[in-house]
Amino acid sequence: MCKRCAVLVAYTGRFRPLLFTWTFSFLIMATLPITKRGAEILKAELHKLKTVERPSVIAAISEARAQGDLSENAEYESAKDRQGFIEGRIQEVEGKLSAAQIIDPSELNAGGKVVFGATVELEEEETGERVTYQIVGEDEADLKFGRINIGSPIARALIGKAEGDTAEVQAPGGIKAYEIVAVQYI
């Protein structure tokens, strides 16, 4: 059995074993780094889920119930599925916010080193192409806007380096070398 999983065997009245598995990740709450902007986005999503989405799905379930025979009511089943998704997402967002370590990049003083929340300007050594990335949490990463996940290969290669250093990143096309041109905390 792996270290992250546990198996619970429960016996029914007919002596058929039922297996239940789960991970202990919900028991061991590690802090989740997130920028101030990312936390605000999650809070806004949670507010929308609780005040708009949840009441609308409850109304949809009520309407479907009013139509009668629930066993053959596709609208009822669809609304119940949507309700399950919304409730699951509410729990997920609440869990992330409760474990969040909110970091405001503008208040960082890392002495010019690349840390979580830093905005880094890079120059690919081979082509001379310049790109700018901000290192953020998993939920707020979006490459279109120059925000990369702290767990991505390029972010891991950059963490701890300073302006003028070179970071080598294993890419699908081979190893790419980037020179750190600037590090900002904005």
pLDDT score recorded for residue 119: 96
pLDDT tens-digit map of 107-145: 998 999 999 999 999 999 999 999 999 999 999 999 999
Token pair recorded at residue 118: 């830093």
Among candidates 157, 137, 156, which has minimal Cα distance to 147?
137
pLDDT score recorded for residue 44: 97
186 residues of the chain, pLDDT tens digit each: 343 333 333 333 333 344 434 444 444 457 899 999 999 999 999 999 999 999 999 999 999 898 888 888 889 999 999 999 999 999 999 999 999 999 999 999 899 999 999 999 999 999 999 999 999 999 999 999 999 999 999 999 999 999 999 999 998 889 999 999 999 999
pLDDT score recorded for residue 15: 39
Sheet holding 130-136, edge to edge: 147-149, 130-136, 119-124, 174-184, 166-171
The sign of the dihedral angle between the CA atoms of 126, 127, 132, 137 is negative
Global pTM value: 0.76
pLDDT score recorded for residue 171: 86
**Burial track 66-88 (b if 16+ CB lie within 10 A, e otherwise):** eeeeeeeeeebeebbeebeebee
Task: Decide: 153 and 159 in contact? Cβ < 8 Å.
Answer: no
